[in-house]
Chain A
Amino acid sequence: MLGNRKSAVLLSAIALLVIAALALPVTVSSQSAAKSVSAAVDPKSFTVTVSRYGFNGTNAPLLLELRRGDVVHITFVYGDSDLPYDNPHVIFLEGYDLRTSIVSKTNPTATLDFIATQTGTFAFYCVIPCDGMLNLSSGRVVVAGQDDTGRLPTEIDVMVDEASSEGQATSFMATLTQGGQPVAGAQVDFYANTTLGPMKIGTGLTDQNGVARVGYTFLRSGEWDIVVEFVGSEKFGPSAKRLTVNVGPGAREPILVSIIPSLSGESISTLPYVRGQNRMPDLRLVGVPLAQGVPFITMILLIVGSVWAAYGYVFAQIRAIKQGSTTEITEEKGGGERKMQSTPAKKGFDKRILFGVILLVVVLAGVFAFYQFGTTAQRKTETVKIDIKMLMQNGGERHVFDPATITVHKGDHIVLIVTNTDDDSIHGVIIPELNLNTGPLTGDQSARIEFDANATGTYTILCPVPGCAPDHAQMIGQLVVVA
């Protein structure tokens, strides 16, 4: 069989591939790290530039730091004036449920005025499709707790091991004080902000010096946003501290990196870094009406059902085999001698199995279809048409939704048929709050979107195609859901 020499050839070849596999990707430059930018013009007033590159020209987190009870005035200024077309934005602040009017070329500023009554961290972001929408998703309003219950105000200070690196424990030391004096026996929580929200990385109790210690091993290098929080007690008020930790790369380098310098990732790091400009809406949405159609789902269920029905036929054959033996084997206890017993062969298979399987498939398909369509079927369906029209007004073009206001009833299943009658431009309909989008429609193209009107309210209708026309920002309609 395999001689030594031949075996060596085989092993060498496999080893080469295995080594190649171990080289698995070596990367590369990472995204520019997040950085905290304080945009304060006044302690309670902020001016934020909104552009396709993000807030204040960057997609890094923008933190607006407040104290509870502050009267806040935020001015958003349009920053895409260099674009030949309009790129409107609407900024929404979570928690306080506030939104600006449209910030666009024609309406270059919009404001948010509120009183910081809630403590915590609240995101603000652009809620309409625009160039750089994803870059405009990292705004944060941080409202620190201000004691108003008579408890003693506290302060927290944090020190971190600067030499932290990926895969190695990093130690945090938080000092909790009240009027310069240490607070002992208090629970301090440590969080790391992730793309999925805050992740608790540890909890420590303060000692007699007011110091709580926590160790954590970061599994990814880069900058980490850390929040250290004391939630307060009967006697002491809450306090929190944010900080950024730089975690250096670990020692995990692929084997080949040290052997072949070209794999070290330098080549890719030279690629130019260009911020994302997500100009196109998700085109797959255009196909949704087709993909959600009953014929499509019925076809899938029929194919799968047919296969399982054929399985049922095969199972029936197996049962027939089992029933069709002319001899039956019996074995005496204790492994004794085996005997044969004759039993009459049964003709034909038990058709009940086949019918049973088919029935099961039909029932399962029915249950599935009920969950797919059931809720829709029980609702009253209301069909509404919207045309997107181009009108000549005062010697200029004006693009409108016709009708501009649609009224539907809560609880109905709404079928919205949108037609772009403007042959010269691409438009569409988007209702951000309901997550509905026709995608871009060319002249005389129609789209059908369906949804359930579950909640009363007034929802803004916009065009999802930035720069479709000079008056793109003025293309606004309303969907009113009444009880």
Chain B
Amino acid sequence: MKEIQTSPVLLKPLTNYSKAYYAFVGILFGIVGLGAYAYSVQLQDGLAVTAMRNNVLWGLYITNFVFFIGISHVGALMSAILRLSGAEWRKPITRMAEAITACSLAVGATMPIVDLGRPDRILNILFYGRIQSPILWDFISIGTYLTGSLVFLLLPMVPDTALLRDRLGGVSAIRRRLYKVFSFGWTGTAYQHEKLEKAIGVMTVLIIPIAISVHTVVSWIFAMTLRVGWNSSVFGPYFVAGALLSGVASVILAMAFFRHFYRLDSYITTKHFSNLANLMLAMIVVYVYFTLNEYLTPAYKWETSEGQLLSVLFTGDFSILFLSVQILGLIVPAILLSLPRTRNILGYSVASALVVVGMWIKRFLVIIPTLARAQVGEFWATYHPTWVEWSITAASIAGFILLYAVFSRVFPIVSIWETEGITEEPSDFTGPSVTSGGFGFSAERSDALTRQDDGGVDYVGQ
């Protein structure tokens, strides 16, 4: 029976919790608590405590919704595409990406419910939903995608969860139960391998069109509404491109974080950063192309209402934000990713942070200026988000990070069975207590693997 070589460095975060970790989680809980209090105020007093009114009826909540749904794309799409294309270098980072998908989707899907004001009215979609409405399409596609992405996350985790079930000592009964449930009785037989590969294969093919459809449908919420600025036929691919861009940037940030704090230098190599940076650069180019299409065509014609909206974006009240997105969110990151001097982990991280913040603002700019311009008459409505909206927004971001941080402390953030023996260089880590032997797994590290000089990784079987 094949044995999985287990590197202690991958298991250490699951058992050793530092004070800094507790402090970090405590801060995140505090922010989530603030958001919960703000939400309780909103539940009690209604949406009047927000700045949303009859003109600007979607504000920060829907901005967050589109942002998180966008980020969620990367796990499914990147992981699935790289799996299909047989890119072996992806193995140490796919779980990070897939976990981002599940966490961001979980947070993003709650935002429309927060935006409802009366959360119980979400049931109206089930009882009174019209299949002709993009809102219902959104509900169906996000529900389908959430299910699919969770399955897509859990499936490749089965062998690792079985390893934790059998080998990780000193954990709570709840966690033991968790490992037992999600290992699905895995013992590593050839039959189970065959079934697992088949299931992953189906999900890999399935998740790509689902992921693309989700963000396309999210864009249709806007594009199928008769509003200036939203009458666009490229919104679908434009949103998908933006989602991939922000998603890849998020993965790079996650990689930098885990590489540094979890000491995963031997798994997450500069090669991974370099490859993803190239992907991000390509996505920036694609996104700039779509942006040019999106703004040049109406700007060339300058139809009355479109022209007024573009004036506000280009030179008016939203121009600082608009230019920030173009320059700091796209051009500067592209430069950082292109110059040899900044093609390093710091440069990639800065570029990614800029892209992530820039893409959030971009979502804001898609929604708010259009709504601020009245449908009837040519006045402009006001929108100053209140402390309730900012608190819930901060809580959603903190909640996403919290989910992600907890996940990485309960499950290995790097796939053990897929990366068995893959390391760039020996680690000086002396790992946690890992029992050895039994059920086809071995705790000893493999010395049989070497790193190729060109930065690629050579995989040597057992």
Where the two chains meet, the residues of A that have a C-beta atom closer than 8 Å to any C-beta of B are: 1-2, 6, 9-10, 13-14, 16-18, 20-21, 23-32, 134-135, 195, 219-220, 252-254, 256, 260, 263, 265, 267-268, 271-276, 278, 282-284, 288, 291-292, 296-297, 300-301, 304, 307-308, 310-311, 313-315, 317-318, 320-329, 338, 340, 345, 347, 349, 368, 372
Q: Would A314 and B192 count as touching, CB distance under 8 A? A: no
Given the known inter-chain contacts A20-B320, A20-B361, please indicate yes or no for A314 contacting B199, CB distance below 8 A. Answer: yes
Q: Which residue of A lies closest to B49 (CB)?
A: A219
Interface pair A322/B184, CB less than 8 Å apart: yes
- Contacts A24-B368, A28-B380, A271-B308 given; does A265 touch B354 at CB 8 Å: no
For residue B312, CB closer than 8 A to chain A, the reply is: yes
Q: Name B151's contact: one of A2, A20, A311, A325 (CB within 8 Å).
A: A311
B186 contacts across to A, CB distance below 8 A: 321, 325
| Contacts known (A27-B317, A291-B132, A338-B438); A13 close to B192, Cβ less than 8 A | no
B321–A24 contact, CB under 8 A? yes
The answer to whether A13 and B350 have CB atoms under 8 Å apart is yes
- In contact, B158 and A6 (Cβ under 8 angstroms): no
Cβ < 8 Å to A, chain B residues 148-187: 148, 151, 155, 158, 165-166, 184-187
Q: Is B267 an interface residue (CB 8 A)?
A: no
Tell me which residues across on chain A come within 8 A of B189, comparing CB atoms.
324-326, 345
Whether B379 pairs with A327 at a CB distance below 8 angstroms is: no
Least distance between A319 CB and chain B CB atoms (Å): 8
How many residues of chain B get a CB closer than 8 Å to chain A's CBs? 74
**Besides the known contacts A6-B346, A27-B383, A324-B185, 9 further A-B residue pairs in the complex with CB atoms under 8 A apart:** A20-B324, A24-B385, A30-B381, A30-B382, A276-B377, A325-B192, A327-B439, A329-B165, A345-B189
A240 to B377, CA, bound (A): 33
**Set of chain A residues within 8 Å of B376, measured between Cβ atoms:** 134-135, 276, 278
Give 4 closest A-B pairs by Cβ, nearest first: A276-B376, A317-B199, A28-B380, A27-B382
**Beyond A21-B357, A317-B198, A320-B195, is A256–B328 a contact (Cβ under 8 Å)?**
no
Instruction: List 12 contacting pairs A-B, 8 Å CB cutoff, sorted by A.
Output: A13-B353, A14-B354, A17-B328, A135-B376, A273-B377, A278-B376, A292-B132, A307-B144, A318-B199, A320-B195, A321-B192, A323-B185
- A284 and B226 form a contact (CB under 8 A): yes
| A134 CB contacts on chain B under 8 angstroms | 376
Measured between alpha carbons, how far is A254 from B363 in the docked complex, in Å? 19
Partner of B324, one of A16, A25, A272: A16
Residues of A within 8 A of B317 (CB): 25-28, 263, 265, 267-268
Stretch at the interface among B18-26, B97-105, B202-210: B202-210
Q: Tell me whether B381 and A27 are in contact (CB under 8 A).
A: yes
Q: Nearest Cβ distance between residue B200 and chain A, in whole angstroms?
A: 9
Contact indicator A326/B210 (Cβ below 8 Å): no
Known: A31-B379, A282-B226. A268 touches B151 (CB 8 A): no
Main SS of the interface on chain B? helix
Complex CA–CA separation, A32 to B380 (angstroms): 11
Q: With A13-B328, A308-B144 in contact, do A2 and B353 touch (Cβ < 8 Å)?
A: no
Task: Decide yes or no: A322 and B185 within 8 Å by CB, A6-B346, A17-B328 being known contacts.
Answer: yes
Question: A317: shortest Cβ distance to chain B, in Å?
Answer: 4
Query: Please, how many angstroms separate the alpha-carbon atoms of A18 and B321 in the complex?
Result: 10
Task: Tell me whether B210 and A313 are in contact (CB under 8 A).
Answer: no
Known contacts A276-B376, A291-B132, A338-B438; is-contact A23 B320 (Cβ 8 Å)? yes
Contact A25 B328 (CB under 8 A): no
Chain B residues within an 8 Å CB radius of A322: 184-185
Chain A residues, CB < 8 A from B357 = 14, 17-18, 21
Complex interface: chain A residues within 8 A of B386 (CB): 219, 252
Q: Which residue of B is nearest A266, CB measured?
A: B317
Give, as a whole number of angstroms, the nearest-CB distance from A147 to chain B. 35
Are B147 and A311 in contact, with the CB atoms below 8 A? yes
For A314, give the chain B residue with the smallest CB separation.
B199
Residue of B nearest to A199 (CB): B48
- Whether A27 touches B380, Cβ cut-off 8 Å, given contacts A17-B358, A310-B206, is yes
A20 CA to B312 CA, complexed, in Å:
15
Closest Cβ–Cβ distance, residue B192 to chain A (whole Å): 5
Given contacts A14-B357, A268-B312, contact A273 B378 (CB under 8 A): yes
In the bound complex, CA of A271 to CA of B198 (Å) = 62
Contact A21 B353 (CB under 8 A): no
B98 to chain A, nearest CB (A): 15
Chain A CB count within 10 A is highest, among B372, B377, B386, for B377
A271 to B312, CA, bound (A): 11
The answer to whether A271 and B378 touch across the interface, beta carbons within 8 angstroms, is: yes
- Minimum CB–CB distance for A62 against chain B, Å: 17
Is B360 interfacial (CB-CB < 8 Å)?
A: yes
**Max chain B Cβ within 10 angstroms of own Cβ: one of A14, A21, A28, A300:** A28
- A329 CA / B131 CA spacing, docked (Å): 48
Task: Check B206–A9 contact: CB distance below 8 A.
Answer: no
Q: Is the CB of A274 within 8 A of B378?
A: yes
Residues of A contacting B430 with CB < 8 Å? none
Chain A minimum-CB-distance residue to B141: A304
